[in-house]
Every structure is written in C-alpha cells, then in structure tokens.
Amino acid sequence: MKLASIREFIKADLSNLKTDNLYRKLRPVDNQKGHLLVNGKKIINFNSNDYLGLAANQEIIKNSLNDFNEISQCSSRLVGGNSTVFENLEKTLSMHRKTEASLAYTTGYSAVLGTLSSVADMNTTIFSDELNHASIIDGCRLSCAKIKVFRHNNMEHLLKLLRGVKGKKIIVTEGIFSIEGDMSNLKSICKLAKEFGAFTIIDDSHGDFVFGTHGSGTPSELNVNNLIDIHISSLSKGLGCFGGYVASSNMVREYLINSSRQFIFTSALPTHLCNFAIEAISIAKKGVQQTKLFKNVQMVRNGLRKIGYNTGNSVSQIIPIQIGSEKLAMEFASKLLEKGIFVHPMRFPTVRKGRSVLRLSLSASHTKAELVYTLEELYNLGRKHKLL
Ligand SMILES: Cc1ncc(COP(=O)(O)O)c(C=O)c1O
C-alpha cells in the first residue's frame, strides 16, 4: 500500500472517531503533593486505581529511594543480572498470594500478555469471559490458541462451550472486573476446570491487595486460592506502585523465564519500584486502608442507588454509572469536571457501543466531604439530564 493511502486511511479513521464521539485525547494535568490539578484547579480524582491511597505516601517513597543508585538497570534481568531486590519482591509476592513462586514484569499488561502467549499455543483452547480486559484479549490472540468467549460470569454457557472440546484447555477470567466492578464466579469456574481438566488463569489486578484476608486477593476471598493455576496482577492499582507480576508454581516461573518474550526481551522493572512495592505490601497487609476504602465504597454505592442511578452488579471499589450514549457520557464527564470532579467516560472499545459508563474508582484517600459533594453534584446533573 502506498504511503499516501495510509495517510488517507489514518485521516479518515480519526474523522470517523470524532463523528462517533469515540475520539480520545490526552488531558493535561499537574500533580501537587499527591493532589491532581486540572486547569490549575484542585479536583477530586475518581480515575486513579490507587485504591489504598498509597501512591503518594511520602514515607514509602523516601524509604524506597534509600539506596538509589541508578534510575534503571537499562537491560533485561537475563542479560544485565538479577539483583537481590527482584528476588525479595518475588518472595514477598509469593507469600502474599500463597504460591510457590512469582515473577515480576514491567507492567500488568505485559504479565498477562507474556503468560497467555507462553502457556497456550495453537493446540490449546482458551475459554475467556466476554468482559475480560484488553490485555487478556490481546494475550489470547497472540497465543494463536482457539478462543471461545463465554457470556459474562455465565457458568451454563461456559459448561456448554467446554463440552466436547478435546486437548489442552485454559479458563481465563478477571477477579474483579475492571469496568463492572463485579466479582468473577470463581468457585464455579474452578469446579468446571476440575471436571474438564482445564488450567485456570486469573487476572486479579483489581481484587489484589483489596479483597481476601490481608488483601491477598479475590481467590482467597472466595476460598479457592489453591485451585488457581496462575495468578496475574498489577502493582499499579491496589498497591499504588508500578509493574506487574505472575504468581504460580516454580515450574511455571521457570517456564516463563525461558519462554515469555515480554519478560525476556525488555528491560527489568527499576529496583526503586520493587522497594516501594515491598514496603507498600507490608502496609496493605495491616488491613487499615481496606477498612477505610470499604467505608467509602459503602457510602457511595448506597448513595448512588438511593439517588436512583444504575450501578449494575458492582461489589467493589469500582462503581460504574450506566449512561449509554457516548455523547451523553462525554457531556456528563465534562460537566462534572467543571464542578471539580474528575471521572472518565468509558466508551467503545473499552465497553460495547452505546453502553458508555462513568466509572468511579474509589480510594481510601477520598474524604467523606469529597464523596458527599460528589453525590450531590451527580444528583443535580442526573436530574438536569433526566436520567433520574
Ligand atoms: C484487568 C486488568 N488487567 C491488566 C491491566 C494492566 O495493568 P497495568 O496498568 O499494570 O499494565 C489492567 C489495567 O487497567 C486491568 O484493568
């Protein structure tokens, strides 16, 4: 294809995105001591996944920079060497997830991609929940496996799909779904996996450090921790840090080190981030931040339902407000921002077309006054737009 036609294609595609209200642009923000400023104005931020409010903890930041020698080792762990800091982080993560071993990745996205594309091949069938995150969809595609998508949390559909499929099977799901905020039906999934000899992989990026005893995750909350073959998570959400990891058996770790291109062919996670993660885990384990978070969750979820908003089946700190049209979702978000409330309108391809939502990500660091004010403004706006 000629370069000119590629240019025309890009131009036309951008124009279509604008017409369909699906155009995305980067919004400039500033950060002042952990407070986000938009247009120089302090806002209440519902777009961060810093659920436990640890990302701006100055003491952890200071401690994690204690032996700060270089910003990054500027090479992969296989080539540039394996600092004891990585091993310490991975031991801490294995203890946290109650698994034999762990492996750190530079992001949660690459951990998901790296795992699925390594353990599955064209002779594997992957059963994937229809609302699974983009990283899972991309990992499935990259693996070249046959993909069967089951209806969201629908075990009858999963059972129907599992029947008659021969060969290697994987069931992959999220723990807490990233837009809906609901919990995966892990008990039934594990039961079906056992019955059909399927491997279980869970991406618990949004349940990790939040749910379960001492924040040990969604499978622990549901008493199925030892039935999960591979746990994957992000360090950039509940923990308020950056990076990703896989927790599983020694053999899976060894296999990923030898086969996962997203681990082999990229530079190592910087060690100051590993230090931050180790210290943040020790704070998360105390459970104080989770108690604060769930107090906030209770207040907002009850408040929204009382006002009359549809928040779906959310049971977590992720609370979606169903809006529908892309245009209205954008209008809502922009009006809220004028009032100092920062909520992103989630549109296609993050959600289905015509099913836009405003997703509130709650944090332990939100104050009661901020949440009361937000509920009041959401009520005013909902009345004005005849949504309530
Ligand atoms: C379910 C899920 N998995 C993986 C990721 C990727 O994690 P990270 O931001 O660490 O790359 C995200 C990020 O939003 C997510 O929601």
Q: How far is the CA of 131 from the centre of ligand 1 (A)?
A: 13
Beta carbons of 359 and 346 less than 8 angstroms apart: yes
Q: Is 275 in the pocket of ligand 1 (CB under 6 A)?
A: no
Mean pLDDT of the region 188-201: 98
Q: Is the pLDDT of residue 33 over 80?
A: no
Q: What pLDDT is stored for residue 4 in this prediction?
A: 73
Q: What confidence score (pLDDT) does residue 1 get?
A: 53
Rounded Cα distance, 94 and 84, in Å? 15
> Helix H segments across the chain?
3-19, 58-64, 77-80, 84-97, 108-119, 134-143, 155-162, 186-196, 218-221, 250-259, 261-264, 271-284, 288-307, 326-338, 368-384
pLDDT for residue 278: 98
DSSP 3-state of 50: coil
Q: Give me 29's structure tokens.
A: 């923000």
CA of 364 to the centre of ligand 1 (A): 20
* Sheet (strand 356-361) strand order: 318-324, 356-361, 345-346
Q: What is the pLDDT of residue 274?
A: 97
Separation of CA 337 from chain center? 24
Nearest to 54 by CA among 209, 205, 174: 209
Q: Is 203 in the pocket of ligand 1 (CB under 6 A)?
A: yes
The alpha carbon of 385 and the centre of ligand 1 are apart by a number of angstroms equal to 32
Counting other chains too, the contacts that 349-354 makes at CB distance below 8 Å and 24 or more residues apart are 349/134, 350/134, 350/179, 351/179, 353/326, 354/324, 354/325, 354/326
According to DSSP, residue 151 is labeled P
Q: Confidence band (pLDDT; 50, 70, 90) for 2? A: low
pLDDT in tens, 76-128: 999 999 999 999 999 999 999 999 999 999 999 999 999 999 999 999 999 99
Per CATH, the number for 76-284 is: 3.40.640.10
pLDDT at residue number 3:
60
Q: How far is the CA of 254 from the centre of ligand 1 (A)?
A: 23
Q: In the predicted model, what is the mean pLDDT of the chain?
A: 96
Are both 22-48+287-384 and 76-284 of the same fold? no
Residues linked to residue 42 through DSSP beta bridges, in sequence order:
37
Q: Given this model, what pLDDT does residue 69 score?
A: 85
Position 382 pLDDT exceeds 80? yes
Residue nearest to atom 8 of ligand 1 (CA): 108
From CA 62, how far away is CA 68, in angstroms rounded? 10
Mean pLDDT (whole number) for 298-317? 96
**Nearest alpha carbon to residue 323 among 21, 10, 112:** 21
Probe target for ligand 1 pocket from 116, 236, 273, with the most ligand atoms within 8 Å of CB:
236
Closest CA to 139 of 105, 188, 162: 105
Ligand 1: centre distance to CA 234 (Å): 6
Q: What does CATH list as the number for 22-48+287-384?
A: 3.90.1150.10
Q: Decide: 41 and 226 in contact? Cβ < 8 Å.
A: no
- pLDDT above 70: percentage of residues in the chain: 99
Q: Name the pairing type of β-strands 199-203 and 230-234.
A: parallel
Centre of ligand 1 to C-alpha 109, Å, is: 5
Q: What is the mean pLDDT of residues 208-221?
A: 97
| Contact residues for 221 (Cβ-Cβ < 8 A; gap 6+) | 183, 207, 211, 212, 213
Rounded average pLDDT over 357-376: 97
Q: According to the model, what pLDDT value does residue 385 have? A: 85
Answer whether 211's CB lies under 8 Å from 180's CB.
no
Give the strand pairing for 30-32 and 35-38. Answer: antiparallel
Q: Cα dist. 15→3, 82, 286, 355 in Å?
A: 18, 47, 50, 21
List the domain boundaries for the chain.
Answer: 22-48+287-384, 76-284
Rounded distance between C-alpha atoms, residue 25 and residue 286, angstroms: 39
Atom of ligand 1 nearest to the CA of 244: 10
Q: What is the pLDDT of residues 35-89, one digit of tens each?
A: 899 988 999 999 999 999 999 999 999 999 987 889 999 999 999 999 999 999 9
Say if ligand 1 is within 6 A of residue 326 CB.
no
